[in-house]
Amino acid sequence: MGDQLAKEVRALRSEARPAWSRIGQLLDAVESSRYWERERAASFTEWLRALAHSLGRKERIFWRYLAAARYYQQLWAQLKQRNFDAPALAELPDSVSPGHIELLSRLARAAPPEVVESLAKRVVAREITRAELQQAWQAFRPALGGRTARGRGAVKPRIDRLDPQQREDLLRARVLHALQSSDTFWTGYIDPDRYEVLLEIRCEPVSDHPSGCMFDAVAAVQRKRGPVLLHGIEYVGAANNEVTQLRIQQAAAYCDYLWVARHEEAGTVDVEWIPEKIGLLLVKGGRLEVVRPARRISREARYREVLAQALLRVLLPRAPQR
């Protein structure tokens, strides 16, 4: 084992741009076998730092390669059990980046297994972008309640599905993810020229709404040079109350269409208080269903402008720099 690792380390040092997956796999083998002691390093960290320096790379990048390699090997075993023909780590193309794998590992701590599996299959098939994975992480991250692992080796937080609040947060995340993953049918437009779903949009306060307005999601849709129509979406769980109802009523002032979305696992939800113009969406079996179409809302231009400005604050940082 030691001689083989020594040979692989020498070969790695002689290559100009070795694949990240190969580096990660080697790092895993070196640490697990304690090969670093053979090269008289004081610790695995010292050995890794020296290797990174010899290859002209940063140490933190190598830790990232190691974490991604270890998680992918777990993922590969799970996918094989599900009869999905995923490439082994050594055969993984560089187009599947450690950033893709890192995002999958984060999602695995919060998202349901079926969601992670579906995304993982698209990752290894190179059918998903990093931006799409980041969108999924944006939907599920709040379910962790802001808890993070501090420092290398710290225990990473996971969703406790027995905790009522975390379960509710997870249902909300599943609704938002279904909204992100759906096509545009629910808006009434098929194949529009422009369509984008943005999560957690906060509007600045206005005179008669001093606390502002927070949307769980906003979809912007445009067809054939027509106006950009703004669809606001609010998640409603089993524990809706007067505060929820007031939030829905205020949100209707800002957008062209407003929808209330819920998850089938939230149980029976009282929706009689929701005005007829507001549409109803249901996530069932992981898919979005229209229970009642939304109708166009007559709203004041000043409120819509506030919402448009909130969307621009999110979109402008994404614009490429010239």
By CB neighbour count within 10 A (0-12 exposed, 13-18 middle, 19+ buried), where does 303 fall?
buried
Contact present, 143 and 110 (Cβ < 8 Å): yes
- Name all domains of the chain by residue range, CATH numbers in brackets: 2-144 (no CATH), 173-318 (3.40.1350)
Averaged pLDDT for residues 74-92 = 92
Cβ count within 10 A of residue 166: 17
Pairing of strands 279-284, 229-235: unpaired
Contact present, 73 and 87 (Cβ < 8 Å): no
With cut-offs at 50, 70 and 90, classify the pLDDT of residue 150. Answer: very low
The CA distance from 307 to 292, in Å, is 24
pLDDT at 157: 65
User: Would you say residue 294 has pLDDT above 90?
Assistant: yes
Averaged pLDDT for residues 240-258 = 84
Closest of 247, 286, 244, 252 to residue 269, by C-alpha: 244
With cut-offs at 50, 70 and 90, classify the pLDDT of residue 3. Answer: confident
Please, what is the average pLDDT of the chain? 87
CB proximity list for 11: less than 8 A, separation 6 or greater: none
Supply angle C-alpha 60, 15, 43, rounded to 5: 40
pLDDT at 156: 65
The CA distance from 98 to 65, in Å, is 6
Enumerate the β-bridge partners of residue 198: 218
Rounded to a whole number, what is the distance in angstroms from the first to the last CA of the chain? 51
Phi/psi for 89 (5° steps) reads: -55, -45
Task: Name the residue with tokens 């906060």.
Answer: 202
More confident residue, 204 or 101: 101
Contact present, 229 and 221 (Cβ < 8 Å): yes
pLDDT at 224: 82
Percent of the chain scored above 70 by pLDDT?
A: 91
Phi/psi for 65 (5° steps) reads: -60, -40
Supply angle C-alpha 36, 42, 43, rounded to 5: 60
Residues, the chain, total? 322
Percent of the chain scored above 90 by pLDDT?
A: 58
User: Would you say residue 154 has pLDDT above 50?
Assistant: no
Enumerate the β-bridge partners of residue 289: 282
The CA distance from 184 to 175, in Å, is 15
Averaged pLDDT for residues 180-192 = 93
pLDDT at 171: 93
3-state DSSP assignment of residue 114? helix
User: Would you say residue 109 has pLDDT above 80?
Assistant: yes
When mean pLDDT is compared over 69-78, 159-168, 247-256, the highest value belongs to: 69-78
